[in-house]
Amino acid sequence: MALATTYRRVYATLTGPQGPINHENTLKVNWSVDRGWTWSCEFSQDYNIGHAMTETYTIELLDGYGNTLTSPPLVALQRSQRGPACTGGSRKKTLSGVDQTTFRMGKRNQSFPSFRATYSDVLMETLATRAGVTVSGLPVWFIGEEEVKGETLASAIQRLQKAVAYDAVIGTDGAIELTAWEDVGDSLDFPVANVQRNYDPSQVFTGVRLGKRTSRSNNGTQRYQFDHAGAFQMELQAPLTGPDANTGNDMAALTVGGVAFFDGDPNDPESGLVNFLSFPGPWGTLTVPPVGTSETGIATHMVVETFPMSGSITAYPVDALLIVTGTPYDEEDPPPAGVDLQFLYPVPNGNDPENIDAYDTSLGAWPSNQDAIDPIFQGYGQAEERYPSYLAKLNAPGDTLTMDGTFHLGPRPLRRYSFPVWDLESEAWVNGSYKVWSIDWDPGSIRAQITLVRAGTAA
């Protein structure tokens, strides 16, 4: 029994934990950006499909042009076997699976600590080490907070990658290499027989909202009580960023009229105002010392003014209550410049309460509904810088090429190919730049098919 498929010097061998498998020309292999490797085959030889899930396979390919390709370690996730009494169909067993790296990143129910004031490379290395995979190429940025409990390792790693619009390719060695969306790869090496452009304008968006919200606003809750009317200057129990406040004890004879947060002693002219809140009531406006706006946004002190509600202070001997919330701040480990607790980019416009016909135009006429609001972003500046690439990658599936040709192992993910497209702005034909997104090899039919996505305009 032959253990390899041979035809016109095309070879495709599959080796599993029990030795070589005669796949009978049914072997199919796919290599995709952001998805890794998938494979499948059917065969009829004696074989135990009930082996351990972690057992590995390898595929070796040789085309008719002298090119070779060896897959990374693979695993078989889906397996089936027809009984000996079944009629119809000569093949009795099927295997299909993914590369070992993708399999390892699919682990669920991982227990991670809450990440605070860390960096992308530290977070990525922690995730990769737990998964037993190698990842390179991710840029470094500050991450104020991140919870990855309950996520698969793959989804957590993909969120890091997505935040900066990077592509991920699992190489033949099983390592993950990340590259920026706009990076230009080598030219595609493939004897094209047919190529077709596929364009879906409904999947090409004019804008997408990026943003960040802190999920820790209540983790810094502080409570303050006051038993008489007056103005109080005090240091916060702990520094906070994004300070906010509300009042309690509605039945008290006292209430808080307002609070001002400062990044230092309110009597120091060098201190700046972080936030000011005035609560409804008959007492007027809290007097705020004449200081400038804080440059740090870190509240360390506050001024609180309380007022009697009615009657005497002894009528309802209940203290006035002020509840202060915000994000805890470690003064010994301040976040670097460019970190925002929350932001939206592009900044929404419209929605003018004085003009009911106003509406948001910041995302253009055909915006995406896939907003990316994620604490993993560093801040507004990072989002603004990566936005063109983020939007381009989001739109890429709306403008694709499909090409096919003879079985050839030259194609690689992210290789570039030019195709003429009509440019609406210049009203002329230009060379559209596309990059390889998915490769399907079928050695049995001696064919290969490639999907490419639009990557811009070729120079």
Q: Which residues contact 139 (CB under 8 A, 6 or more apart)?
A: 120, 164, 166
Name the residue among 424, 430, 363 with its Cα closest to residue 391.
Answer: 363
Q: Are 325 and 316 in contact (CB under 8 A)?
A: no
Residue 156 is predicted with a pLDDT of 86
Q: How many CB atoms lie within 10 A of CB 327?
A: 21
Q: Are 137 and 167 in contact (CB under 8 A)?
A: no
Q: Are 452 and 417 in contact (CB under 8 A)?
A: yes
**Tens digit of each residue's pLDDT (9 = 90 or more) over 399-442:** 999 999 999 999 999 999 999 998 877 889 999 999 999 999 99
Residue 23 is predicted with a pLDDT of 93
Give residue 215's Cα distance to chain centre.
Answer: 17
Q: How many CB atoms lie within 10 A of CB 27?
A: 23
Residues in the chain predicted with pLDDT less than 50, given as ranges, are 1-7, 215-218, 312-316
Residue 291 is predicted with a pLDDT of 67
Please report, for residues 142, 211, 212, the alpha-carbon distance to residue 335 in angstroms, rounded to integers and kept in the order given.
Answer: 7, 18, 16
Residue 218 is predicted with a pLDDT of 43
| CA–CA gap between residue 162 and residue 394 (Å, rounded) | 10
| CA–CA gap between residue 187 and residue 190 (Å, rounded) | 9
Residue 290 is predicted with a pLDDT of 60
Residue 365 is predicted with a pLDDT of 92
Strand, coil or helix: 72 = coil
Q: Which two tokens stand for residue 282?
A: 């008959």
**Tens digit of each residue's pLDDT (9 = 90 or more) over 320-336:** 888 898 877 765 556 67
